[in-house]
Structure 1
């Protein structure tokens, strides 16, 4: 088991929803956490205070990681503040759901930029430091939609599927270095995004999930901890946390 005490982790999109749960869980296991946000300054400041109150160490950095120069800024600030980098959780994501006939080019590009290009941008900036770590971890938060597709989600599905292919190829390249690369594919998680779905549609979704409930953000966070602490022989894999909805 790898102790996370004093390890440094970046969580992109780390201020809300699944990202916030991951940030708190990493901090509770001793990691020093850089909470990246783009526009969620208020939630990020609240999260930093919550982590401090539980005895953790966290630092918020504003950066639009869909832009390479800002992803580099994020990594630079991490190194300047904490002096090292061991874990990158690529979690930043947005949705712009529309059927393909109604999908605008802007909707396609925005989702690909935030959900997929940000993964390249952040990892490229972070890799030199991860290679110096004795337990480098790259964890990409993909989605069940990248595996099974989703109605009105061609852009989101393409981005999340791209993350899975990226994970496998980078894992092959980095295997000898000791840096592991894995993806977590959440199912329907009870976050603000899912709560916006009309109640009747939510009921239909739950009826299709074998365990008959939505997942919790904390369950995704525990998957991240597992890969960080016990995942030295796990790389290039998809960890499916979806209640049995996709097998």
Structure 2
């Protein structure tokens, strides 16, 4: 299938590792130029070098804090100054933050919303005129499957992520007239640095496959998802293969979610 990503320019936030890194890698493999954004410059340099070596693609790194509106704007400005256009934005920056309602203070509420909700708002707002100039584009908001069915002690993450889903739907209604598509992916249990640390601490005698199956017993597909599997779906949503898909969310959770 031809994805139509050759010559496109994509910004990926939270791109130094995990889902963001693998998404940038796959977009680069499909012919896109990629802009990697995260707070840690050293990690970005390592990620960029690996992508260049594996794909030969053009890669720009822009260290930035997605909780700062000015820095979100600067990422977009530098991307367009360097590559001349912007077609794809993957709002992936985020952290896991979960506790009971009584234990979440005002500062944590604000910092979580600043990163996961307003980071996406500010980046998307900055990207809009450039996508309009390019004749369209694709924005993908990375959220969590638990945003649809929040369990106890999952705050503030599930609230911030649920707001991201509402943002996705509302933006898709407003921006469709510009041929700008806006979708979300809802992440379930996907391999990450945090999960790998837990594996090495809790079950060092097990292989990754054994540990994945053990932890994933309650998941219909019976395992933890691979990072690349999440990147596959994001790349599809960024591409021409999803040209009539907007305003929707896709669960990447092995079937574990309780909502469509």
- TM-score, length-scaled by structure 1: 0.94
- 3-state DSSP class of the match of 1:131? helix
Q: Separation in 2 of the partners of 1:224 and 1:203?
A: 24
Q: Separation in 2 of the partners of 1:222 and 1:233?
A: 18
Q: Does 1:24 align with 2:53?
A: no
- 3-state DSSP class of the match of 1:73? helix
Residue number in structure 2 paired with 1:11:
12
Q: Separation in 2 of the partners of 1:243 and 1:187?
A: 8
Deviation per CA, 1:195-215: give whole Å up to 9, x if none. Answer: 355748988752211111111
Q: Separation in 1 of the partners of 2:195 and 2:100?
A: 18
Which deviates the most, 1-10 or 45-54? Answer: 1-10
| C-alpha spacing 1:31/1:71, structure 2 compared with 1 (3 Å) | same
Is the Cα–Cα contact under 8 Å of residues 85 and 129 in structure 1 kept in the other structure? yes
Q: Does 1:43 align with 2:43?
A: yes
Is the Cα–Cα contact under 8 Å of residues 3 and 236 in structure 2 kept in the other structure? no
Where structure 1 has 5 or more consecutive residues not aligned to the other structure, the ranges are none
Residue number in structure 1 paired with 2:253:
242
Residue 228 of structure 1: how far off its partner (Å): 1.9
Q: Does 1:232 align with 2:243?
A: yes
Deviation per CA, 1:37-81: give whole Å up to 9, x if none. Answer: 11x222211111111112121111011121111111111111111
Q: Separation in 1 of the partners of 2:59 and 2:171?
A: 28
Residue 95 of structure 1: how far off its partner (Å): 2.3
Residue number in structure 1 paired with 2:219:
209
Is the Cα–Cα contact under 8 Å of residues 13 and 37 in structure 2 kept in the other structure? yes
| C-alpha spacing 1:206/1:199, structure 2 compared with 1 (3 Å) | farther
Which deviates the most, 14-23 or 96-105? Answer: 96-105
- TM-score, length-scaled by structure 2: 0.89
Is the Cα–Cα contact under 8 Å of residues 135 and 178 in structure 2 kept in the other structure? no
Count of matched residue pairs = 246
Alignment of 1:52-131 (within 5 A): 52-54=52-54, 55-131=56-132
Is the Cα–Cα contact under 8 Å of residues 87 and 136 in structure 2 kept in the other structure? yes
Q: Separation in 1 of the partners of 2:95 and 2:51?
A: 25
